[in-house]
């Protein structure tokens, strides 16, 4: 009986201090700032580009759904040729999250629009549980996707 009286407070304290398991949307929620812009034909550009930046905001809506907002730092386009930046804030209110467990981490695929091809990452943001980076893949031309690499702000 004495053993239980000693162990019970230890068990209760460790239970109360344990971190709750986060759902996929909570795991990736946050603010991210653009770091690199990459297209297939040229070397990557580091942000800010021509004094401009792009921000990404992910808010949990449901365990498998997030609201995603992509914000340009300005509404004028002075980016170099072949570099895309939205001219206004883009908001996707029901982006679907697919969590895929991998060895040692979880990959999160955040689809801004329903994919026309299940193997495509076009119009998707890829994140992992072991990194603060997010990769936004978007169709810049009918032939190719471009990527903006974001880093989570703390």
pLDDT in tens, 121-147: 889 999 999 999 999 998 877 677 889
Q: Are 70 and 88 in contact (CB under 8 A)?
A: no
Under DSSP, is residue 7 helix (H, G, I), strand (E, B) or coil? helix
DSSP string of 94-149?
A: EEEEEEEEETTEEEEEEESS--SSTT--TTEEEEETT-SEEEEEEESSSS-EEEEE
Q: Which domains does the chain have, with CATH numbers?
A: 22-152 (2.40.128)
Given a cut of 70, is residue 6 above it in pLDDT? no
Q: Which residues contact 5 (CB under 8 A, 6 or more apart)?
A: none
The closest of 99, 96, 97, 92 to 56, measured between CA atoms, is 92
For β-strands 124-128 and 133-139, DSSP reports them as antiparallel
pTM: 0.81
Residue entry with tokens 């040692």: 104
pLDDT in tens, 20-34: 578 999 999 999 999
């Amino acid at each position: 009986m004495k053993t239980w009286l000693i162990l019970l407070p230890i068990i209760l304290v460790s239970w109360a201090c344990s971190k709750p398991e986060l759902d996929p949307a909570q795991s990736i929620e946050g603010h991210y700032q653009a770091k690199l812009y990459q297209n297939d034909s040229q070397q990557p550009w580091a942000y800010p580009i021509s004094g401009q930046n792009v921000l990404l905001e992910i808010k949990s809506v449901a365990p498998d759904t997030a609201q995603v907002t992509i914000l340009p730092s300005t509404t004028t386009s002075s980016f170099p040729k072949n570099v895309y930046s939205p001219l206004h804030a883009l908001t996707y209110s029901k982006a679907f999250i697919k969590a895929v467990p991998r060895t040692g981490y979880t990959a999160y695929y955040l689809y801004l629009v329903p994919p026309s091809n299940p193997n495509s990452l076009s119009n998707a943001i890829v994140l992992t549980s072991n990194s603060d980076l997010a990769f936004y893949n978007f169709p810049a031309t009918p032939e190719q996707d471009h990527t903006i690499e974001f880093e989570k702000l703390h």
